[in-house]
A and B are shown apart, each in its own frame.
Chain A
Amino acid sequence: MAISAIKKVAKKKKLEDEYVQASRTTTANTTTTTAMPQPKQKSTQITKTKPTTGSLSQSAQTTAQTRGLTFPSNHFSSVQSGSKSTNSNCFGSISLLQPFNFFPFTSSTQNAVLTHSATQDSIIGISQTTAAPQLPSHQTQTTRTEPRIDIAAGAAWSQKHPNILSSLTPASPMVSQGAQGEKAPQNTVSQEQFDSAIQSGNNHLNFSYQLENELDERYGDIDYARYIPEYQSLLKSIRHEQAKYQKQREFIENNYRSIPLHGFIDETYTAADHSYYEGQLRAIRNEMETYDRLCDGKADLSILYYYYEQIARYETILERPVNTRGAEYMDATLEQVIKGNYTDEVTGLGTATQIGLGLLNLDLPADIRDFAYDWTHLNETPWWQTALDTVAFLPLIGSLKYVDEIADAAKHSDEAADVLATAVRHADDLTDAGKATENAASAAAQVNRIDGAQAIDLPQGEPYNATRAAYADAANANGTVTYYRIQGGIGNKRSKYLISVNADGTIHINTSGNLNVSAYNTDHANYFSQKRPGEIEIVSFEVPRWFDDFVRETAIPQDGYKTNPLNQGFSAPKMTDLNQPGHTYEFPPIWIDWLEEHAFNATVIEGGLP
């Protein structure tokens, strides 16, 4: 069984668990509902129940605009349209049963409660209660006869988002989806519960799909509802994880793969931050679009408000100018040294440089420059500055002419402090860079040392003679051995793109399973690439000779691999495709990490092998 089998089985188990949980919720809701039948739909359109009344109020838009949030106009139009149909490939009806379920939430710490009465179909306001609010029982909740969205918030949330209260009006469809003519429960949640519920994706969407006749005939009773909602949920969680760990991944890649020394100060961090926030923005936009599409214009306003708030937050962050304070400081310093009195930018480092040049008596051009400036700008220059610049041609006295810059630089001392703080903050990265350089040097020394050693004897026997003969010519003048990987191919029949080449010539291997490569020369790569014409990709990379020695020392034939006592606990490389031209190895997973660590000079060979 492959490793992917474990992952897929685990994934399947997880999906099944989620499905069972979702089914219980669905069953609990549908068994007690009477006014919401689920007739079998033969059409491929998604039909939704219309909102009971009204549309999103104008005050909601106004409120959002005054808060600087960007509400897309098409959303409001879709909300106002009330109901719309969405084409679907193969699914029947989708019904929004309970898109946002906070139950069971227990909170006795919040006194002010935002109450939604479905009977009156409106928000009736904030009420101050002294006793702990009574939570609805599960049975009370499941007696609803219409799909409804519970809008509930605690006092903290109300105070934090006061404007949203004014946007919730009786005419809003967002708050009018409660059961008609039936008393709705009052729900109370705290701010933390509200936020965690939203962020943890607790707004579970229940769907019921009806299969078409054609589907029934071909695949039996496949319930597509078993896959698609969870599939969407999985995608959503994956997007969250990607955005969450993108920043860490950037750091890891910068620290362990390629170390851009020139870009260590601010560019790396700025790019990582930018990438992180871009990922967050993309994820939240995708999530909102998915949620909005699935709700079909009946999205909960509080959820949308959360989305819009997050989008506005990330957009604001991304629009912020890049932190280039350090670069600006050095530019101002250089400008001060070159332009002298002709510039308004004064820094402490620039003034110190000017004084140093004066003490070394190297500032004659600067003296002439400042002298010319003073006498051409008599109205703007103080008399004492003009006098100092006039006598500045004398050594030592010349240094006194920079007293005005010293005064200005003192005003900008905070900039210097910031730059110093930035340098201190990044000092640990520079230390890492130094360690990496040491490691590279020691690795190079190790390569040279092992290169001088004698080659390891190969096993004797006819099958191995060819390998040994090839190995005699395998290592090039640099003491390295070249491996090749043929990947890709025609359309959906392609092989996996397992190796990607990094910009610095290292490789990234994207598999947790085995990896097949051709070795030593292009014989097998040529043979296999001709066997699989099409858009194949040939990746070549080099490994140190000692690494290849290690491979040859431990590789065993694929035949009888499982029972071979030399299989090293199933971690030895396999010699595969034995009677074909050239040589191939199949590396178990642990070798993949070593290959990533030691491979270099990787390239993608364009236009076939030479």
Chain B
Amino acid sequence: MSTKYVPYDALDDDPDNVVPDRINVAIVGVTRKGVFQYYVLPELMCYLDYFKFCNPFGLYSSPESLVLTDVSYRFNIYTVDREHEDEYLKHLEPYKRSCKRLHEELLMCLNQEERLDYYPTILMDFDKREFVSYFPEPKSFELYVPDGWTADYRPIEVDDFPPDKLFWVMPDGSDLLREEF
């Protein structure tokens, strides 16, 4: 089987090798206890309430009814609520990315289309319990958040990031992600 036909889901999901692609993998900015941190997450880890996602028509009352659903790749956590936040983010540690690493990966992109994969499309604020998504494919992450969260689907602007976390800005101020680069 040639490489071209290896399905996305059949690939080895080594957290260290996951790269954003704007289709199935997103760069997520997570704020937790006042600290902003980037993660590169496969799509199924971006659903904060996986039970709602698995139960879109409300046919089931509890996760125990979903006998066919395997959440082992979500560390057996259906809903990332208050009591599971720490555990969930601890499991996401391998998906953490430093600004330096993202900056280096951005430099290695060969064209603007590849660079645009690195624009963060999801923001999770565990302090304010706010979820913002502008993921360009129809995934509807914002619809599946735990109770008590506010979710929105809107363009994520530069102002939404801490000034020292703009890894796409070169030292001379030039923007690697600008449209006409």
Contacts and interface: CB of A to CB of B under 8 A. Distances in A.
Interface in B69-110: 69-70, 73, 99-100, 103-105, 107-108, 110
A531 interface: yes
B171 A214 contact: yes
Contacts of A231: 107-108, 110
Nearest to A588: B7
A45 interface: no
A2 B11 contact: yes
Chain A interface bracket (under 10, 10 to 19, 20 to 34, 35 or more): 35 or more
A492 B68 contact: no
A229 B100 CA distance: 20
Interface string B1-40: 0011111111111100111011111000000000000000
A590 B5 contact: yes
Nearest to B115: A492
Given A1-B18, A90-B172, A562-B70, A222 B104 contact: yes
Interface in A534-573: 559-564, 567, 569-571
A219 B68 contact: no
B82 to A, nearest CB: 24
B139 A576 contact: yes
Contacts of A486: 138
Nearest to A528: B138
Chain B interface bracket (under 10, 10 to 19, 20 to 34, 35 or more): 35 or more
Contact of A578 (B9, B23, B56, B117): B56
B59 A4 contact: no
B14 A577 contact: no
Contact of B7 (A11, A89, A570, A580): A570
Most-contacted residue by chain B among A3, A15, A518, A588 (CB, 10 A): A3
B18 A569 contact: no
B155 A493 contact: yes
Interface in B137-156: 137-140, 143, 153, 155-156
A201 interface: no
Interface string A199-232: 0000000000000101100111010100100010
A181 B41 CA distance: 61
B126 interface: no
Nearest to A491: B179
Contacts of A590: 5, 7
A490 B155 contact: yes
Interface in A294-347: none
Nearest to A486: B138
Contact of A90 (B17, B53, B73, B171): B171
- In the A-B complex, the 6 residue pairs with the closest CB atoms: A495-B136, A579-B56, A570-B7, A563-B70, A215-B171, A570-B10
Given A3-B8, A9-B17, A222-B104, 13 more contacts: A2-B18, A3-B4, A8-B19, A214-B171, A218-B164, A220-B100, A489-B136, A492-B178, A512-B3, A532-B136, A562-B70, A579-B57, A588-B9
